Amino acid sequence: MHVDLPLMSDMHVHLRQGVMLRNVAQWTGSCCSHCLVMPNTVPSVATAADVASYRTEVVEAFKHYPHCKPLMTFKLSPSTTADKVMAMRGLTVAGKLYPEGVTTNSGDGISRKILERPHDYPNFMDALGAMEQAGMVLCLHGEMPDEFCMDREVQFYEFVRWVLLQYPKLRVVLEHITDYRSVRFMRVWGDERFTATITAHHLRLTLDDVVGDKLNPHNFCKPVAKHPADRTALLEAATSGDPRFFLGSDSAPHPISDKECAAGCAGVFSAPVLPELLTTIFEEQGALPHLEAFTSVNGNRFYGLPQPTETIRLERESWQVPDLCNSNVVPFLADQTLPWRFS
Ligand code: DOR
Ligand code: ZN
């Protein structure tokens, strides 16, 4: 028994730099036609020159996967101006807004003050206006700094509504939604220019998998996995075929030493199990006919990209996820058995 799936589009992936990038490219490269590469590197990707040099590094890492096109993004910061945005026209498809301090490498993100009173910050407003004019997508890490961690997503909606009303032509993605209220929010506000991504790990995890028994730092990510009712709402949204929801894995590799320590980093490294896990989840939900809408169709449609002609094959054959990749990164579901194999 097998499933043939059009090459996926992972519309949110962290590939990092240097050796880590060269080591992790194989997983995204082998199963995707497109991937949207996050800019929270060190230093971050913030200018046209940064984008150009990071793109060169990423393209080199993907050279064995010619069917996979990396799409570049830049990181918005308080010093992003309309001119800087315009200089990135044609180089980036999206700009990523990280609220200050909410996740890995977001210390130079957008402060709560700006998010609460954006009208007081003309540079910020002009930068978003330039993105709208340039046809770039605004990708939002939707968490309000300094709120209780389980409510950060909900506290961010007011800013989202402001963006949608202030920039009626700007295309916006609410990234990695985790809260049942975000699913409801998307069903009210979402349309062909406002969509949401969902990760594979948030379709699997609840907070219990992070802290319910022994602490599992490899399931710790931002936004944190929430209540079983939230996961149920995400499963319904992802498996519905609704074009407003599509895959953004947020696969985020960190060396094991940065996870298994005090002050461990947020991030789930799901790339090594992505097609296998998604097939497993959609099968469990009785929703295999909607798998390709979520993994391969809806994201391309939103970003205006061609649909892939090539497919990948998943065989119904169990395999064990390794406990370590490249001798220093623990993959999601390490050591566990999955019923679908992609090779
Ligand atoms: O868990 C996360 N890890 N969430 C993010 O938003 C960033 C990511 C990372 O870069 O490690
Ligand atoms: Zn991310």
pLDDT in tens, 240-267: 999 999 999 999 999 999 999 999 999 9
pLDDT at 327: 87
Query: Which protein residues touch ligand 1 with a CB less than 6 Å away?
Result: 14, 40, 103-104, 141, 221-222, 250, 252, 265-267
How, if at all, do strands 194-198 and 94-97 pair? unpaired
Name the residue with the closest Cα to ligand 1, atom 2.
267
Q: How confident is the model at residue 335 (pLDDT cuts 50, 70, 90)?
A: very high
Ligand 1 atom index nearest CA of 265: 11
The token pair that represents 187 in the structure block: 């069903």
Average pLDDT over residues 225-237: 98
Name the residue with the closest Cα to ligand 1, atom 8.
267
Buried b / exposed e over 117-128, threshold 16 CB at 10 Å, is ebeebeebbebb
pLDDT tens figures, 89-139: 999 999 999 999 999 999 999 999 999 999 999 999 999 999 999 999 999
Q: How far is the CA of 76 from the centre of ligand 2 (A)?
A: 14
pLDDT tens figures, 15-36: 999 999 999 999 999 999 999 9
Average pLDDT, the chain: 98
Name the residue with the closest Cα to ligand 1, atom 4.
222
pLDDT exceeding 70 applies to what percent of the chain?
A: 100
Q: How far is the CA of 175 from the centre of ligand 2 (A)?
A: 8
Whole-model pTM?
0.98
Ligand 1 atom index nearest CA of 105: 10
Ligand 1 atom index nearest CA of 175: 6
Residue 58 and residue 97 in contact, taking contact as beta carbons nearer than 8 Å? no
Q: Of 250, 258, 323, 335, which residue is the catalytic one?
A: 250
Statement: residue 162 has pLDDT above 90: yes
Ligand 1 atom index nearest CA of 141: 6
Q: Any idea which ligand is nearest the CA of 252? A: 1
Statement: residue 343 has pLDDT above 90: no
Name the residue with the closest Cα to ligand 1, atom 10.
104
Active site residue 242: no
pLDDT tens figures, 279-328: 999 999 999 999 999 999 999 999 999 999 999 999 999 999 999 999 89
pLDDT at 2: 97
Three-state secondary structure along the chain?
CEEEEECEEEEEECCCCHHHHHHHHHHHHHHEEEEEECCCCCCCCCCHHHHHHHHHHHHHHCCCCCCCEEEEEEECCCCCCHHHHHHCCCCCCEEEECECCCCCCCCCCECHHHHHCHHHCHHHHHHHHHHHHHCCEEEECCCCCCCCCCCCCHHHHHHHHHHHHHCCCCEEEECCCCCHHHHHHHHHHCECCEEEEECCHHHCCCCHHHHHCCCCHHHCCCCCCCCHHHHHHHHHHHHCCCCCEEECCCECCCCHHHHCCCCCCCCECCHHHHHHHHHHHHHHCCCHHHHHHHHHHHHHHHHCCCCCCCEEEEEEEEEECCCCECCCECCCCCCCEEEEEEC
pLDDT at 243: 98
Statement: residue 226 has pLDDT above 90: yes
Q: Is the peptide bond before 289 cis (omega within 30 degrees of 0)?
A: no
